[in-house]
Amino acid sequence: MRNGRSSEASTTVSDALNRDTRSIPALDAGMPAREFAFTQEDFTRVRTLIYAHAGISLSPIKKEMVYSRLVRRLRALGHGSFGTYLAYLESNSGEIEGFVNALTTNLTAFFREPHHFEMLARQMETTPVRPFRIWCAAASTGEEAYSLAMTACEVFDTLAPPVTVLASDIDTHVLRTASEGIYPLERVERMDKQRLKRFFLRGSGRRAGFVRVRPELQALLQFERINLLDNRWPMHTVFDAIFCRNVMIYFDKETQLRLLRHFKPHLSPGGLFYAGHSESFLHAAELFRSRGRTVYEHAR
């Protein structure tokens, strides 16, 4: 099993999940008949597997969400039940990617939590080392990563700033969208008009109703699939800024600490770690200390 988890550890997780859900009423009571039966045992197996492979700790109330997302995989692969699909998943590592892609949540927007981009701009201005390196560790469909690149272009007043952005995600589907850089107009309708004009090309013909980020902006980004739970990450770079926002909320405290210990050597001594608006690292005070609104630096 990936991430070096033993079968004994998996059994422990499974036992814990079973205890967690034993007192939860059946969520499908009174629900319309489903296309496929989805038992509590099936749900517990899903929770065990997604925890083992992606570190995600699924709440017991997510049963309906899990069903609606995984039923597409059953149809696509021709399985007649969740039991046969999960047995196939456990014996076929090639399906792990499809399984994880189906269950990961990808909520993002351009310049979401704008105070972070204002702080990043100040950080770029005051950091003398070039190039300035950024890791967007949960890039999803690319809006955050491109927002980082746009911020860099504005700080240095050029479409070729001395900045690089590594954009990674565990979900290969969203990374493909990100690398294409094509978005419906409604995704950018709240963006400043000057910013929109500077960084995007409006589509025509079959691309009418869409915009595409300029090639110069795409050139600043490198896209790569990275599972944060892997024991080794493929890069050896030290970054000046790491954006890992609204990701830790899906992990339990033990997994959060393990990830933060892994992130620490990848952040430069004067670098900043940008977290999500609902995330706090008070339990990791020996690793990081606060620099403001969900922004952290190395603990001294």
Catalytic residue among 5, 69, 258, 289: 69
Q: What is the mean pLDDT of residues 161-167?
A: 98
Query: Is the same domain home to 122 and 91?
Result: no
Catalytic residue among 47, 73, 133, 169: 169
**Residue 231: pLDDT over 80:** yes
Q: What is the pLDDT of residues 241-267, one digit of tens each?
A: 999 998 888 888 899 999 999 999 999
Query: Is the same domain home to 68 and 48?
Result: yes
Using 50, 70 and 90 to split pLDDT, how confident is the model at 33?
low
Residue 171 is predicted with a pLDDT of 87
Query: Is the same domain home to 152 and 291?
Result: yes
| Domains: count for the chain | 2
Question: Residue 69 catalytic?
Answer: yes
Q: From residue 236, how far is each of 89, 243, 263, 268 by CA, in Å?
A: 32, 17, 11, 12
**Residue 4: pLDDT over 70:** no
Which residues touch 85 (CB under 8 Å, ≥6 apart)?
70, 73, 74, 77, 79
Residue 194 falls inside a structural domain: no
Share of the chain above pLDDT 70, in %: 88
Higher pLDDT, 278 or 84: 84
Q: What is the mean pLDDT of residues 189-218?
A: 93
Q: Among candidates 148, 150, 129, 130, which has minimal Cα distance to 140?
A: 148
Which range has the worst mean pLDDT, 82-91, 100-109, 152-161, 211-220? 100-109
Using 50, 70 and 90 to split pLDDT, how confident is the model at 14?
very low
Query: Is the same domain home to 71 and 128?
Result: no
Higher pLDDT, 205 or 200: 200
The pTM score is 0.74
Query: Of 77, 103, 129, which marks where a domain is finished?
Result: 103
Query: Is the same domain home to 139 and 274?
Result: yes
SS3 201: strand
**Residue 79: pLDDT over 50:** yes
- Distance (Å, rounded) from C-alpha 281 to C-alpha 300? 15
Query: Is the same domain home to 130 and 15?
Result: no
Higher pLDDT, 170 or 2: 170
* CATH number of the domain encompassing residue 38: 1.10.155.10
Domain limits at 224? 114-182+212-298
Query: Is the same domain home to 99 and 118?
Result: no
**Residue 185: pLDDT over 90:** yes
- Distance (Å, rounded) from C-alpha 205 to C-alpha 212? 14
**Residue 107: pLDDT over 50:** yes
Residue 2 is predicted with a pLDDT of 35
**Residue 160: pLDDT over 90:** yes
Residue 179 is predicted with a pLDDT of 96
Query: Is the same domain home to 149 and 74?
Result: no
Question: Residue 5 catalytic?
Answer: no
Q: What is the mean pLDDT of residues 271-300?
A: 91
Residue 139 is predicted with a pLDDT of 94
* CATH number of the domain encompassing residue 280: 3.40.50.150
